[in-house]
Amino acid sequence: MSRPRLLLVPAPLDFGLDASAPLDEVLPKRTLQEAAGLQHWVVENAKTARALLKRVDAVIPLALPLQQLAIVELPRPPKGQARTSVDLSPLMSPLRAGHDLGLLSEAGLPAVADPGAALVAAAHRAGFAVHGLPGSSSIVQALAASGLNGQSFAFHGYAPTESTARLQRLREWEAQSRKLQQTQVLIETPYRNPALLQALVQALQPSTVLAVSRALTTPQEWTRSATVAQWRQQPSELPTDQPAMFSWLAAASG
């Protein structure tokens, strides 16, 4: 028996868009083959995981019928408690039994901008092999399409939702961007896209370049990269039913 692996299985980025595109259009064959062969899964959401596995099955037949797969959701910590308070050891029982285990999130690479990293860390501590399968991440797809500095960047996840805290944080990140010439990248929940865009356009300096992307990796991909002055002069509308990525780079001072 070969050494069991925790396999990080990327999901496509077409969440909220036309989900009927054949999966091999956006994921490579090796990823689909490994996914089709897995019998044990830990996932962020079981329902969307099953929908994705149906799309895998349409390209490469699953080794076992969908109903026979062991699909476990990542436990959420009790309200008010840290995620580290959850014992992830039971999730690794397939690995202890010698089986490969797949980790899957809602979109993109698992364990990046989602709660899966704790399981990856636990697998390393327990001495299991961790392998990432090839796939796209919205963070770097957005960064590449922005034309902003890709040699130095920071991803901060989500901005604060409270407006005063958000304004303060955006200004701190802009100062850091100017000082380090470091591109700043944020993700946002779809329904808050317009609010974050408005906050960025108001908070950032006119000379800062702001890029917004949506529908990344699909034929409908859209990226606008322009100075904040230009965004103010000619605003863009953002849809509230699909994720968007926001990145900006402040002009060097002096």
Residues in contact with a copy of itself by CB under 8 A are: 8, 12-13, 22, 24-30, 109-114, 116-124, 130-137, 139-141, 143-157, 182, 209, 211, 216-217, 221, 223-226
List Cβ<8 Å contacts ≥24 apart for 70-76: 70/39, 70/40, 70/41, 70/94, 71/41, 71/43, 71/46, 72/41, 72/42, 72/43, 72/46, 73/42, 73/43, 73/44, 73/45, 73/46, 74/42, 74/43, 74/44, 74/115, 74/116, 74/119, 76/115
Nearer to a copy of itself, 65 or 254 (CB): 254
Nearer to a copy of itself, 4 or 12 (CB): 12
Least distance (Å) from a copy of itself to the CB of residue 70?
A: 22
How many residues make up the chain in this entry? 254
Least distance (Å) from a copy of itself to the CB of residue 240?
A: 23
Nearer to a copy of itself, 67 or 136 (CB): 136
Nearer to a copy of itself, 68 or 250 (CB): 250
Nearest to 235 by CA among 184, 198, 209: 198
Nearer to a copy of itself, 25 or 162 (CB): 25
For the record, the structure tokens of 47 come out as: 């329902």
CB 246 within 8 A of CB 197: yes
Specify the pairing of strand 244-249 against strand 183-188: antiparallel
Nearer to a copy of itself, 152 or 163 (CB): 152
Least distance (Å) from a copy of itself to the CB of residue 133?
A: 7
Sequence-ordered list of residues with C-beta below 8 angstroms from that of 175, at least 6 positions apart, any chain: 250
| Rounded Cα gap, residues 27 and 227, in angstroms | 33
Nearer to a copy of itself, 70 or 121 (CB): 121
Least distance (Å) from a copy of itself to the CB of residue 223?
A: 5
Nearest to 140 by CA among 160, 130, 154: 154
Least distance (Å) from a copy of itself to the CB of residue 102?
A: 13
Least distance (Å) from a copy of itself to the CB of residue 3?
A: 12
Least distance (Å) from a copy of itself to the CB of residue 231?
A: 13
Sequence-ordered list of residues with C-beta below 8 angstroms from that of 72, at least 6 positions apart, any chain: 41, 42, 43, 46, 91
